[in-house]
């Protein structure tokens, strides 16, 4: 009888393990290119690695980011891979990584993410029922122009500039330079630019080839070499759907993919024809930096940006350039 009871216990344990192994977490992956895009391809590789963390991910591609957000909120997804713009509603601290002009380049972003991946920063990635379980670069965001002569802040006045629906940041920036906002989303902005319904659009190089952005640049357009922000992709989880401690483990694992993500971004930038790149004069870069600094402070005061993240980013910038105005006048 005792032997039978032990057999039943063992069978029950085996069934329990099998049930746990069979359980999958469903992830909505935003990739404007869809299943064949670089983001979805990387997500598949990451999902394989996450098996070592005891998590089995089932991925679903979304070409419309709003739909991925909606399904995450509805509980149809246990997690979603989204841009920082859409992450803002789930975690303002993490979304503020995309603050305008706050991170200069990929090396600076690496330092930021290494700093924030330390366990003591973990609580900052949890907000309500959601946790950001990983951040990786999706490429610098550049200013695409239908006329390459529009390289100054003043030249933006009166231009029709794409603003993503619900994005207070781009709306604020357009208002600041005196532009005319043209509303769009991830599925419509490229066509509006290509068809001449907008003069200016902010976008990463990753969309240049698949969305045929060159059609909006020909023949006189240009792309300003100075990035306006660093686009990120972030894994937002419904915290209760994942094992305890998964968020920290995942953030550390995702950091190992940093170089590959940057390599993908640089590859996309290299596909842009050299004649389209426009380097603004030094004095104009300084004017831009001051404009975005003022914009960050205003957006912080309006509750769009997280003050803690802005302070962290300013301190990291000042380590590199302690002589900068913002380092002597720390308003952020």
Domain boundaries, the chain: 23-139+232-270, 141-229+278-304
Fold of 141-229+278-304: D-Maltodextrin-Binding Protein; domain 2 (3.40.190)
* pLDDT values of the chain reduced to their tens digit, one per residue, 332 residues: 444 444 433 333 333 343 344 368 999 999 988 999 889 999 999 999 999 999 999 999 999 999 999 999 999 999 999 999 999 999 999 999 999 999 999 999 999 999 999 999 999 999 999 999 999 999 999 999 999 999 988 999 999 999 988 888 989 889 888 999 999 988 899 999 999 999 999 999 999 998 999 999 999 999 999 999 999 999 999 999 999 999 999 999 999 999 999 999 999 999 999 999 999 998 888 888 888 999 999 999 999 999 999 999 999 999 988 988 899 888 88
Q: Do domains 23-139+232-270 and 141-229+278-304 have the same CATH topology?
A: yes
CATH architecture of 23-139+232-270: 3-Layer(aba) Sandwich (3.40)
Per DSSP, what are the bridge partners of residue 164? 184
Q: Residue 245 in 3-state DSSP?
A: coil
């Amino acid at each position: 009888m005792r032997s039978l009871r032990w057999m039943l216990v063992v069978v029950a344990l085996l069934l329990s393990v099998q049930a746990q192994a069979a359980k999958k977490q469903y992830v909505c992956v935003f990739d404007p290119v869809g299943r064949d895009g670089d983001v979805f391809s990387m997500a598949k590789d990451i999902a394989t690695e996450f098996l070592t963390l005891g998590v089995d991910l089932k991925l679903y591609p979304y070409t419309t980011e709003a739909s991925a957000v909606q399904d995450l909120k509805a509980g149809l997804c246990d997690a979603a891979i989204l841009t920082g713009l859409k992450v803002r509603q789930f975690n303002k601290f993490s979304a503020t990584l995309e603050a305008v002009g706050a991170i200069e380049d990929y090396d600076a972003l690496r330092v930021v993410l290494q700093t924030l991946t330390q366990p003591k920063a973990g609580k900052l990635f949890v907000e309500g029922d959601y946790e950001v379980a990983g951040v990786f670069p999706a490429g610098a965001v550049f200013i695409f122009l239908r006329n390459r002569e529009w390289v100054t802040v003043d030249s933006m006045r009166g231009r029709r500039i794409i603003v993503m629906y619900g994005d207070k940041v781009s709306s604020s920036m357009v208002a600041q330079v005196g532009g005319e906002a043209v509303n769009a989303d991830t599925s419509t902005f490229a066509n509006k630019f290509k068809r001449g319904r907008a003069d200016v659009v902010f976008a990463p190089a990753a969309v240049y080839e698949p969305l045929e952005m060159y059609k909006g640049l020909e023949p006189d357009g240009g792309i300003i070499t100075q990035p306006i922000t660093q686009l990120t992709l972030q894994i937002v989880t419904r915290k209760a759907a994942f094992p305890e401690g998964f968020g920290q483990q995942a953030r550390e694992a995702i950091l190992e993919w940093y170089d590959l993500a940057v390599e993908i971004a640089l590859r996309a930038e290299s596909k842009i024809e050299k004649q389209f790149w426009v380097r603004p004069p030094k004095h104009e870069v300084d004017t831009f930096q001051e404009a975005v600094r003022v914009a960050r402070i205003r957006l912080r005061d309006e509750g769009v940006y997280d003050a803690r993240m802005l302070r962290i980013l300013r301190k990291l910038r000042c380590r590199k350039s302690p002589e900068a105005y913002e380092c002597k006048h720390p308003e952020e």
